[in-house]
Amino acid sequence: MQNRVPQIDWLRCVFIVLMVMFHLVYLGGKYPFLKQVVYTFHMPAFLLISGYLANMDKSIRAIGRQVWWLFVPYAVMEAGYVVMASVLPIREHIDGLTPGVFADKLLLHPLGPYWYLHTMMVCYVVYYAVSRLCGRMATVSFMCVLGLCMYAVSALSGLVSMDNAMYFMAGVLVRRSGAGFTSVFRPSWPAVVPLVLLCVVSPGGLHRFTLQGVVMTYLSMSLALAACGSLPRGGRASRLVLFVGANTLPILLFSPLFTIVAKSFVPLFAFDPTAVLFTVVSVTFVIAGSLGVARLADVLHVSRLFCGRERMLTGY
């Protein structure tokens, strides 16, 4: 774990917890404005981090293997989610599942949280192709070519939305500029002031594909990094947080299995009108359950078949 950046794992933990929280239908329905605020920045931050961490200094075989082992768990879980959406009364319910609809959701327009993996695969392929052809270009020229290619893929195929690609490319820009991640994204408690003001004064701008969304993403990351500095280093809580941040993939993959079950917790916490207790218990249940499934896959030695690695879980 010597090569890991603790600040990045901290951010990943914060944003995966927010993802799980607002995939709980009960909480999102109770606080729709807060859900809109969080949706403005939490996945854009993930996309930006992914762009920063993307390493294209690989052979075509290595990058092909990386994309393949994103596709396998994506395809398995997305297929299951589509079938589930056709039989359960969830928000993304599908009436009349046909082979055509199934293929559309699997290959073009995924349901649930798996759109993120779909976006990563497309961005990796486009980024790698541009890197192979134009890798020696100056950073500004390279980013212009990458942006044009992403736009072409978005406009012609619809495989990726340009707002998501934009955040991925922002991470690439930070990486190619040579600036360290923590040099660009600096901790700041005062960031909470403009963040709150933007939410209150301009609620109409709460979308990732706006200048306000970009600013809010940066401010949220700065604020989260400031909170990271207050966490005692080396303690049990710190190790737990960083462990969760290092294992966001299994949480993303398996969390829908547990968010459905968490709906049954609502009557148990009817006495709490704030839904705070429901949220704490449900988020803990979903994350622990997702990591538990990954651990079981490791113990049963099926992780290699599912994600191409001996172990799904990354220690810390």
Q: What is the pLDDT of residues 224-238, one digit of tens each?
A: 999 887 766 767 888
CA distances from 216 to 37, 201, 284 (A): 9, 13, 27
- Secondary structure element (H or E) that encloses residue 19, with its range: helix 6-22
d(CA 255, CA 295): 14
- All residues at 6 or more sequence positions from 11 whose CB lies less than 8 Å from its CB, including other chains: 45, 49, 221, 224, 225, 228, 245
pLDDT reported for residue 1:
44
280-291 burial: b if 16+ Cβ within 10 Å, else e: eebbebbbebbb
Residues of the chain with pLDDT under 70: 1-2, 231-232, 234, 316
pLDDT reported for residue 232:
67
CA distances from 82 to 106, 154, 202, 224 (A): 8, 23, 36, 34
3-class SS of residue 138: coil
Place of tokens 């429901």: 278
Q: How many residues does the chain have?
A: 316
pLDDT reported for residue 222:
95
The pTM (predicted TM-score) of the whole model is 0.93
The structure tokens listed for 61 are 């075989």
d(CA 243, CA 258): 19
User: Is the CB of residue 4 less than 8 Å from the CB of residue 243?
Assistant: no
3-class SS of residue 207: coil
